[in-house]
Amino acid sequence: MPELPEVETIRNQLEKLIVGKEILKVDVGLPKMVKLPLDKFRKIVIGSKIKKVSRRAKILIFELSNGWSELVHLKMSGRLIFRGRGAKLQIQDTKWNHLIYYFKDASRLFHNDLRQFGYVRLVKTDELDAFFKKEKLGPEPLKKDFTLDEFSAILKRKPKEKIKQFLIDQRNISGIGNIYSDEILFFAGVHPLRRVAELKSIEIKKIFDGIKKILPKALKLRGTSDNDYLDALGKKGEYAMRLKVYGREGKKCKKCRGIIHRLKIGGRSAHFCLKCQKI
């Protein structure tokens, strides 16, 4: 968290808000978040303009005008909140704030992070492909060229893996985490402990359909504000009201009125309905 719908929401907003702006100054309150010496970071970033805002998996990419790109990973609790010139600051703008970007037009971008797991990294723009190749990230699930055939082929590489763990492994598919893996598996009627080799063709298609339906719906509603997530305008996403199983342990299933359960798989939580998702 944030996952693909949340990060893509922020990307969409920042693409409209900061592209073309010149960075006048950067305050760094938590040096460990910047993965290079601060003098070098400031020298590269200050005076550059934002050319483009893109995304790969859960990583935001700010392409700069000087041939560098800044990579921002929000990890568990990171936020990027934009405020225009003269805008009144809210508590979420400055609480747990670790970086502030000051633009030439007097607008600002606040990067705050309660758990401090996020990072900022600089990579030469022409070396981005090589960087992400080393990261071994899986395909982007919202792209049109991500097909059922490709999904099925990726599944065949990990026959012994539990399907919940498969979905959240960024080497298999990019951008899916705890929230949407739970929702996708509920949509498909598949128990999170099922092993990939046990899945029938119809179940694989149902999981694939869930990916293609749930992620765009969550994106349309600007993601899920379960705990810390806010969009680039400091507002909560609206998909939480649509959640069927995630975060609903002990509550009644919205489909069958059974009880939602939670278990741990490899250190991560999985929420599911025993009646709707057979093991």
Confirm whether 163 is domain-assigned.
Answer: yes
Asked whether residue 225 is domain-assigned, the answer is yes
> What range defines the domain where residue 127 resides?
4-135
> Is 154 in the same domain as 102?
no
**pTM above 0.85?**
yes
Q: Tell me the catalytic residues.
A: 2-3, 58, 268
CA atoms within 13 A on the CB side of 272: 26
Together in a domain, 18 and 130:
yes
206 & 102 share domain: no
User: Do 71 and 15 reside in the same domain of the chain?
Assistant: yes
Residues 83 and 10 in one domain: yes
Torsion, CA 185, CA 190, CA 191, CA 194, rounded to 10 = -110
How many degrees, rounded to 5, is the angle at CA 71 between CA 70 and CA 74? 135
For residue 16, CA distances in Å to 50, 123, 164, 203 come to 11, 23, 35, 39
Q: Is residue 53 part of a domain?
A: yes
Provide the residue-wise pLDDT of the chain in tens; the chain has 279 residues.
Answer: 799 999 999 999 999 999 999 999 999 999 999 999 999 999 999 999 999 999 999 999 999 999 999 999 999 999 999 999 988 888 777 778 999 999 999 999 999 998 899 999 999 999 999 999 999 999 999 999 999 999 999 999 999 999 999 999 999 999 999 999 999 999 999 999 999 999 999 999 999 999 999 999 999 999 999 878 999 999 999 999 999 999 999 999 999 999 999 999 988 999 999 999 988
Same domain, yes or no, for 81 and 197?
no
Residue 141 lies in a domain: no
Whether 210 and 149 have beta carbons less than 8 Å apart is answered as: no
